[in-house]
Amino acid sequence: MRLNIVIGGAAGQGINKVSTIVSNILVKYGYFTFNYRDYQSLIRGGHSFNTLSISDSQIHSHYASIDIIVALNKRALETHKPALKKGGMIIIAKEFKKEGRNLNIALAGALLKILGIPLENLNEEIKLEFKDFDKALISAKKGYDSESEKFVLKKLDNKITILSGSNAMAIGAKNANLDIYIGYPMTPSTNALHAMAKDQIKNKMLVFQAENEISVISMALGASFAGAKSMVGTSGGGYDLMSESLSLQGITEIPLVVYLASRVGPGTGVPTYTAQSDLDIALRAGHGEFPRVVIAPGTPTENIEIVADALFLSEKFKMLSIILSDKHLAESEFSTTLTPKKATKITVKRSVPGTSIVKASSYESDKFGNSTESYILTEANVDKRMQKYNRAKEYINSNLEMVKIHGKKNSKNLIVGWGSTSGVIIDAIRDLDAKFLQVIYMKPLSSLIRKELEKADNVILIECNATGQLGRLIREKTGIKIENRLLKYNGRPFHEDELKIYLGEML
Amino acid sequence: MVKKIIKKSPKTKQIKKAAPPKPNKNIIKLKLDLGTKSENTWCPGCPNFMILEAVKRTLATYIDSKKYKKEDFAITADIGCHGKIFDYLNLSGIYGLHGRAIPTAIGMKLGNPNLKVITFVGDGAIYSEGISHLIHAFKENPDMSLFVHDNQVFSLTTGQSTPTSQTGYVTKSEPLGEFDKPLNPIKIALASNATFIARVNARDTPHMVEIMTKAINHRGFSFVEIMQDCIIFNMDQNFKDKRMYKIPDNKDIKIAEKLASEFNYNSKEEKIPMGVLYHNDQPCLEDRWPQLVDLQKRKVGWINK
């Protein structure tokens, strides 16, 4: 069973409210939801929409073709009608104009009636969300009574939670006992900043907004030096500003975690849309040669786990850990029955100021931490840093899940992908003869990748960028070029139905 | 030349009267302990030696008073001649990137608000590359001290013009001469709601010790401009000592504005007021964040939260 509902309208009309109410009810009713948020870089007006996908089994993606349109204005109807399936339904907001502020509740009511979910479920949700709910209940009933049942969704026995990548960042930070998070607003990293800031006192954390990303990362290095477990968050443009300090991290070896949530570049690009085009800078930004790990979660659950792993690795190996996400993972609302693994306990055992004399320098330094230009010490320091990376690599190899294999394990058709594209690949190959190799650790890169590539007859690379950045990385590390590539770079993630058609042609 | 000036300066003798108690043996020992084995690579005769001496004296007196341990201090230094002070001080800290010494220091305070943090920067570093951080530091008012070694020139990069260099200064990078008027950092500080603004002469060690002590004691962001000659580059701006005069600590904003206007970093005649040009009491960053208030109460950093 799979349904796709588009809720569209102008920014400010409350499309998120409709999808949130309906998702919450569906999830409590035992259904899996995936909510894709498509919005423009504006506050009021324009055209935004959510695609709420519903299924009785685990999903991580949405469809291009639509079963139901909820149109908050004429533009939404005109935009989405061409994608409406034959026999698809349309709910028009204009009919509930009289409901005023409770318009969205009436729309939720109409939608739930079509899905065949009893009205009590909506009433309960309203009572939970609103203090003054009498009028809302009336609007809900009006909406509910306006439609007739088209589908009958039976109550299922699943314990499901809704989670976005941004919320996952905050949960992961809490689980790992992060001390300080510093950021500067930039879509799509802002929601993680908001989520962390909201409960900072309760979670015994400090969330600081600095004057620019240069300051953000400089402060985080200072805080980490003083003994706080520290993380910064940004998107591509802000990350560019941080580059010099990534390099400072390399030489000072002050533990640091960077959350990089990509969007469409270059430049300001298409700021509220998605892309996997910053893998190159995640791997290489910063002058000089120094070690780092780059980890790319594919789902919010993986994201929660990876926050703790990234913090652990950065503290254990005094290294830079980069968590690479994007708008699609950060802002889409996934649902899952999985619970993340328990976070590894992270203890700061370093010498810190206040109790000892400890020096960190942007210059190569001697054993006292003071500057040196000695060729002997320079070489020894470089060796020390490279050996540290080898130790980290060994640790990761034997303790952490660097890749995941999904689909038919013995298939000769191999799909290679990473990050937010993983979800839609997992969904699309469910009924196909294909295996999906999800790369989670981009640096270090798992040696399993070569083995899988050598075993397969037909390999397809799927990424949301124009140059196949993971493909290039794999070629660099293995010498194997993946010829078949499916690359999307218009700011929109793959739809499951769209990907199925492409894969049907390529497999 | 330099030695002559020191002898000629009538101010030096006067100041000695106002100097803090004469160093006892323990302070001499503590001062030695604040030094390192690194080879000092400042030019012979550079006023940076006197700034280093003043810092050591100030901190040795603090440590001697048992109010703070040596480990309670942490420094950050920028890149430039001034920054080498990092290698010559046996104190915790980060020798950071060019322009970033202030946010790195604020980060340390976020990481452990109990630290006494001092930041060393040059005029090139802080008024060019790091100017945004400086203005925001005034606004955020973290409890730390900023010592600006202002010699009105980029020295370690061989003599280019900085934002406080005089109009007309001819350099290899600007052979047509500096066209701009210099910035007046004191005015910027006042406009940015600074809570402590002071100016001292790098050749006047006792006065430096007095002002540095006041800066460290001030609860908030203390901005100390150290007027310093470069004995190699932009020597036109040297020998301002005769025009300097000391003022009593000032709390009046109107007077501060007047004092800030007296010297425009360009002229050869104007008098230059020295001392605490302005100070007031405003809640500092560490006292506004409940998380940091809690760490201060318990005298711990996040590491022991």
Say if B38 falls within a structural domain.
no
Per-residue confidence at B305, pLDDT binned at 50, 70, 90?
confident
ipTM of the complex: 0.96
Query: Min CA distance, A41 vs chain B (Å)?
Result: 27
CB contact, 8 Å: B81 with chain A?
A: no
Asked if the Cβ–Cβ distance from B305 to A201 is below 8 Å, we say no
Contacts of A373 in chain B (CB under 8 A): none
Chain A CB contacts of B110 below 8 Å: 180, 182, 206, 208, 219, 222-223, 226, 228
Q: Closest to A222 (Cβ–Cβ): which among B38, B106, B303?
A: B106
Do A304 and A224 reside in the same domain of the chain? yes
Instruction: List Cβ neighbours of A214 (8 Å cut-off, separation of 6 or more).
Output: A241, A242, A244, A245, B99, B100, B103, B133
Residue in chain A lying closest to B299 (CA): A354
The model's pLDDT over B59-109, given as tens digits with 9 standing for 90+, comes to: 999 999 999 999 999 999 999 999 999 999 999 999 999 999 999 999 999
Sequence-ordered list of residues with C-beta below 8 angstroms from that of B226, at least 6 positions apart, any chain = B51, B147, B148, B149, B150, B199, B200, B201, B202, B208
Number of domains making up chain A: 3
Separation CA A377–CA A128 (nearest Å): 64
Contacts of residue B23, Cβ cutoff 8 Å, sequence gap at least 6: B31, B57, B60, B61
Q: Is residue A494 part of a domain?
A: yes
- Kindly write down the DSSP assignment for every residue of A243-270, as one continuous string: HHHHHHHHHH---EEEEEEE-B-STT-B
Q: How many CA atoms lie within 13 A of A216 on its CB side?
A: 28
pLDDT of B135 strictly over 90 = yes
A395 and A407 inside one domain: no
Q: What is the pLDDT of residues B194-247, one digit of tens each?
A: 999 999 999 999 999 999 999 999 999 999 999 999 999 999 999 999 999 999
Residue A478 main-chain phi, psi, to 5 deg:
-120, -15
- B26 lies in a domain? no
Please name the helix (run of DSSP H) or strand (run of DSSP E) that holds residue A328, with its range, or none: helix A327-331
Distance from CA of A39 to the nearest CA of B (A): 32
By Cβ distance, the residue of A223, A348, A352 closest to B110 is A223
Dihedrals φ, ψ of B301, to 5°? -100, -175
Give the domain CATH number at A17: 3.40.920.10
Domain's final residue, options A338, A369, A399 = A399
Helix (H, G, I), strand (E, B) or coil at A348: coil
A326 shares a domain with A297: yes
Tell me if A156 is assigned to some domain. no
How many other β-carbons are positioned within 10 Å of the β-carbon of residue A86?
5
Q: What is the pLDDT of residues A138-186, one digit of tens each?
A: 999 999 999 999 999 999 999 999 999 999 999 999 999 999 999 999 9
Task: Give A11's strand partners.
Answer: A45
- What pLDDT was estimated at residue B20? 62
d(CA A276, CA A272): 13
Does A181 lie in the same domain as A89? no
Question: Does residue A155 fall inside a structural domain?
Answer: no
Q: Which residues of B51-84 are buried (b: 16+ CB within 10 A; e: fewer)?
A: bbebbbbbbbbbbbeeeeebbbbbbbbbbbbbbb
A and B: number of Cβ contacts within 8 A: 171
Using the structure block, give the residue that is written with the tokens 């000036």: B5
Q: What is the pLDDT of residue A129?
A: 86
Q: Which residue has the tokens 């469910």?
A: A430
Residues A367-391: b if buried by 16+ CB within 10 A, e if exposed: eebbbbeeeeeeeebeeebeebbee
For strands A320-326 and A333-336, give the pairing. unpaired
Is A347 part of the contact surface with chain B (CB cutoff 8 Å)? no
What residues of chain A lie within 8 A of the CB of B114, using their CB?
354
Domain housing A138: 2-146
* Chain A contact set for B107 (CB, 8 A): 182, 218-226, 230
B-chain residues within 8 Å CB-CB of A352? 112, 301, 303
Distance CA A330, CA A333 (A): 8
Are A348 and A442 part of one and the same domain?
no
Q: Is residue B220 in some structural domain?
A: yes
φ, ψ of residue B72 in degrees (nearest 5): -75, -15
- Shared-domain flag, residues A395 and A426: no
Number of independent structural domains in chain B: 1
A chain contacts of residue B36, beta-carbon cutoff 8 Å: 368, 370
Question: Whose CA is closest to A499, among A414, A428, A451?
Answer: A428
Q: Give the separation between CA B77 and CA A246, rounded to whole angstroms.
A: 18
> Is A359 in contact with B136 (Cβ distance < 8 A)?
no
Residue B106 lies in a domain: yes
User: H helices then E strands: how many in chain A?
Assistant: 17, 20
Report yes or no on B96 lying in a domain: yes
Burial class (CB in 10 A: 0-12, 13-18, 19+), A287: exposed
Mark whether A214 and A304 lie in a shared domain: yes
Q: Verify whether the Cβ–Cβ distance B301 to A352 is below 8 Å.
A: yes
Spell out the long-range contacts of A128-133 with Cβ–Cβ below 8 A and sequence spacing 24 or more.
Answer: A129/A21
Within an 8 Å CB–CB cutoff, is residue B298 touching chain A? no
* pLDDT band, residue B14 (cuts 50/70/90): low
Query: Are residues A124 and A191 both part of a single domain?
Result: no
pLDDT tier, A317 (very low <50, low <70, confident <90, very high otherwise) = very high
**Pairing mode, if any, of strands A359-361 and A435-439?**
unpaired
Contacts of B77 by beta carbon, 8 Å cutoff, 6+ apart: B83, B84, B85, B86, B93, B94, B95, B96, B101, B119, B120, B121
Q: Do A370 and B38 touch (CB under 8 A)?
A: yes
Q: What is the pLDDT of residue A224?
A: 98
A361 contacts chain B (CB < 8 A): yes
Q: Residue A68 and residue A147: Cα distance in Å, rounded?
A: 12
> For residue A303, what is the enclosing H or E element?
helix A300-317
CA distance A168 to A163: 7
Residue with tokens 């992961």: A172
Which pLDDT score is estimated for A130? 86
Domain assignment present for A334: yes
Which residues are within 8 A (CB) of A492 and not within 5 positions of it... i.e. 6 or more apart?
A: A38, A273, A274
Residue A115 resides in a domain: yes
Closest residue in B to A247 (Cα) is B97
If asked whether residues A379 and A460 sit together in one domain, one would say no
Cα separation of B124 and B162, whole Å? 5
B104 to chain A: which residues are within 8 Å by CB?
218-219, 221-222, 225
pLDDT at B304: 85
CB atoms within 10 A of CB B230: 21
Evaluate whether residue B213 is within a structural domain: yes
CA A309, chain centre distance (Å): 16
Q: Are residues A172 and A137 in the same domain?
A: no
- Residue B62: give the domain boundaries: 48-158+184-232+247-263+276-298
Using CB atoms, which residue from A182, A227, A363 is nearest to B303? A227
How high is the mean pLDDT of chain A? 97
- CB-CB neighbors (< 8 A) of A363 in chain B: 95
Please check whether residues A349 and A477 belong to one and the same domain. Answer: no
Q: Which residues, at least 6 apart from B44, have a Cβ–Cβ distance to it below 8 Å?
A: none
Structural domain includes residue A174: yes
Residue pLDDT, tens place only, A332-365: 999 999 999 999 889 999 999 999 999 999 999 9
Give pLDDT, residue B17. Answer: 56
In a domain, B216, yes or no: yes
Please check whether residue B214 touches A, CB under 8 A: no
Question: A414 and A390, same structural domain?
Answer: no
Summarised one tens digit per residue, pLDDT across range A191-211 is: 999 999 999 999 999 999 999
Task: Note the pTM of the prediction, 2 decimals.
Answer: 0.95
- Contact assignment for A359 to B111 by CB distance below 8 Å: no
Contact A229, A177 (CB under 8 A): yes
Considering chain A, what percentage of its residues have pLDDT values greater than 90?
A: 98
Which residue of B72, B95, B104 is in closest CB contact with A218?
A: B104
For residue B28, tell me if it sits in a domain: no
Would the pLDDT of B3 be above 80?
no
Cβ contact, residue pair B84, A212, below 8 Å? no
Instruction: Give the CATH number, domain containing residue B90.
Output: 3.40.50.970
What percent of chain B is predicted at pLDDT more than 70?
A: 92
Q: Rounded to an integer, what distance in angstroms lies between the CA atom of residue B292 and that of residue B142?
A: 11
